[in-house]
Chains A and B, each alone.
Chain A
């Protein structure tokens, strides 16, 4: 009954999307006001219905209703409750329904809360959002129905990959999806504004909170995903340039460019066509990402099995939406009035360079991700790995950071070099000091990590400069947001540089009592013992790490075995143990038992890493997200007298 109700709700929601689209188009083409009155309630209802359908799917997973195909394939009654819930979106159909739910809820939120836009632009925006959701409703209902029943219900389900039974991963996809799909709002705003030719500061101010909102979620999602891969995969790396990671990075880069250019449009009424273009690119990249992940096109540790029907469906949808938006852009770009002028050395100028660099990095990452597909179509199988990305993205990212040093210190319209330089001596000194220290004491360091740490020092100091000489309590929240986010970039960059430059690694077959030296730690392997978990058995190793100063810390890495369910083979996973210290992290992995020549299995494979400052990477990511949040909160429409004061101030000062 629940499954049938869910399916019915999806069909009704799809019909409402159709209604919003038709009514919206008729109204914008000169129809009556009654048509416009239909669009808002239809958008809200569509969001509520889709969210309810998603809730029903969760209920099916919670109840372990094995008569539903999706539940039987992806869940198991023995699974802990939290992973039953998370199992709802840990598969193709469920995650597409979640995607669509967020899309429809975004539409509902625009319909409910957006008051700054002209009525016709708003209706056109809602119609564009309805057009987007309609395509994905079709995809879900015709090729990926999550509510499909099985003719005969099996006694129990086939479970879920034990690697995916992790709390971090359970909430990683939803976070990323909110970010991905939040960009759809910017896309629809852009389409709406192109249709009614209302492209200016009002449009930019309406769009900005949405861009910030989805970018915050993308930042959190990427940071959390990086940390998850770091501790769960047991490889000790924090970024693998895996295609699935890349397709989350690409919309993030587009979002970063967009929230800087939208600031120029909102504050200075310049870069208008470019902002619209970026809004289109942002969500297009989200769709490309969804397409790549969901079609299984790439050789990726994350990829799903190839499914040509779904792949083609998504490809057609993407072609319609991206092609349609770009065609509209081409038709209307000429009539977008010219923006305000500015000198190259100005806030706007630095933001233009920021945008050029961000979009160039975006294009290079996308090229590296898609190149293997193109090459395969031409008969060569190629993989593009970290060496390519580090070489093309690394230097550009460093230049970008240097632009970030100057940008916030420049004034709008025009500035002069001497004034800029007069605000930078402390930052330059910090950079020089770090450079000297690293060259003298750092030993042999690669050029990229070395420059990374130097630039990090410069950025860290310079990012605080906008607060210099100000009354901190009166500094508007968006300025605090910018400072925090830019400082976060410096922290993350320092972490990446230090980790790459000074990492220490040991791989040994150790017997109990052996001492392994790594970095400044002496790690004693005490022994192993068997442990039983809720749905697995495990061998737990005990390691005691001692510092030169007499500190003593116990680490317990595990090798877990999950029993095979419903006739599948058992699966083994390594659970790394992490010891977080002020100077970095000690990372331990317990491998296989080692059999000696006399047949005794008394030794175990142990891999240890000392990773200096590695946690700064995620701290930096968190600071970037926090900065964006401050900026968003500072621009929120606060009630009453508060708003008047806050809002006026934030108009004068810029921060994205």
Chain B
């Protein structure tokens, strides 16, 4: 094989690789990417029941209540315009609390409750999910 051919073969292999990766990525993104929703978007009916998504919001003051099994909590996530009840079974993360920002992975149930598989709370002392920057001023920012 001549050197020029070798370059050509390498270039074609690279192109095929890039194209294949592109197709793979596009299909995976279409299937696996989850929408990031705020309570007001859910109130507007943007979230289909059962669709995997991520919900971001503030835990409303006085809303956390524990269920009798001792493991499940219910609270209200709010963005100042609308609120969504959230249910989660498990140990809440460090730094989770009322009037703090949180992000939950999960899906909507038919009764309008968001069932979370995982909850993230702010991690750094100055962390706030960017999407929460749009919240009205009278809401308290997550306290450090």
Residues of A within 8 A of B (CB): 158, 160-161, 163-164, 233-235, 296-299, 301-306, 338, 341-344, 352, 356, 360, 363-364, 367-368, 371-372, 375, 380-385, 387-388, 391-392, 507-509, 568-569, 571-574, 589, 591-592, 594-595, 597, 603, 605, 607
Tell me the complex Cα distance, A352–B10, Å.
8
User: Is B137 interfacial (CB-CB < 8 Å)?
Assistant: no
- Among B35, B70, B95, which residue has its beta carbon within 8 angstroms of that of A382? B35
Q: Which residues of B contact A363 (CB under 8 A)?
A: 18, 21, 25
Residue of B nearest to A575 (CB): B94
Q: Would you list which residues of chain B between 2 and 27 have a CB under 8 Å from chain A?
A: 2-3, 6-7, 9-10, 13-14, 17-18, 20-21, 24-25
Q: Which residues of A contact B20 (CB under 8 A)?
A: 360
Q: What is the minimal beta-carbon distance from A610 to any residue of chain B, in angstroms?
A: 17
Tell me the complex Cα distance, A375–B130, Å.
14
Tell me the complex Cα distance, A381–B56, Å.
11
Q: List 11 A-B contacts (CB under 8 A).
A: A296-B130, A338-B3, A341-B2, A341-B3, A356-B13, A356-B14, A363-B18, A381-B131, A384-B33, A388-B33, A569-B144
Residues of B within 8 A of A (CB): 1-3, 6-7, 9-10, 13-14, 17-18, 20-21, 24-25, 28-29, 31-38, 54, 56, 66, 68-71, 89-95, 97, 103, 105, 118, 120, 122-131, 133, 143-144
Contact in complex: A509, B124 (CB < 8 Å): no
Q: Which residues of A contact B91 (CB under 8 A)?
A: 234, 507, 574, 589, 591-592, 605, 607
Tell me the complex Cα distance, A646–B79, Å.
66
Tell me the complex Cα distance, A602–B91, Å.
17
Contact in complex: B124, A303 (CB < 8 Å): yes
Q: Which residues of A contact B122 (CB under 8 A)?
A: 301
Tell me the complex Cα distance, A235–B25, Å.
28
Q: Which residues of B contact A387 (CB under 8 A)?
A: 31-32
Q: Which residues of B contact A158 (CB under 8 A)?
A: 144
* Interface SS of chain B: mixed
Contact in complex: A235, B130 (CB < 8 Å): no
Tell me the complex Cα distance, A2–B95, Å.
36
Contact in complex: A163, B127 (CB < 8 Å): no
Contact in complex: A306, B131 (CB < 8 Å): no
Additional A-B contacts beyond A163-B123, A385-B54, A391-B28 (5; CB < 8 A):
A163-B95, A298-B130, A381-B131, A387-B32, A388-B33
Most buried by B among A164, A235, A299, A595: A299
Contact in complex: A380, B71 (CB < 8 Å): no
Tell me the complex Cα distance, A234–B120, Å.
11
CB within 8 Å for A305 and B127 given contacts A388-B33, A508-B71: yes
Contact in complex: A299, B131 (CB < 8 Å): yes
Q: Which residues of B contact A383 (CB under 8 A)?
A: 33-36, 54
Q: Which residues of A contact B24 (CB under 8 A)?
A: 364, 392
Q: Which residues of B contact A352 (CB under 8 A)?
A: 10, 13
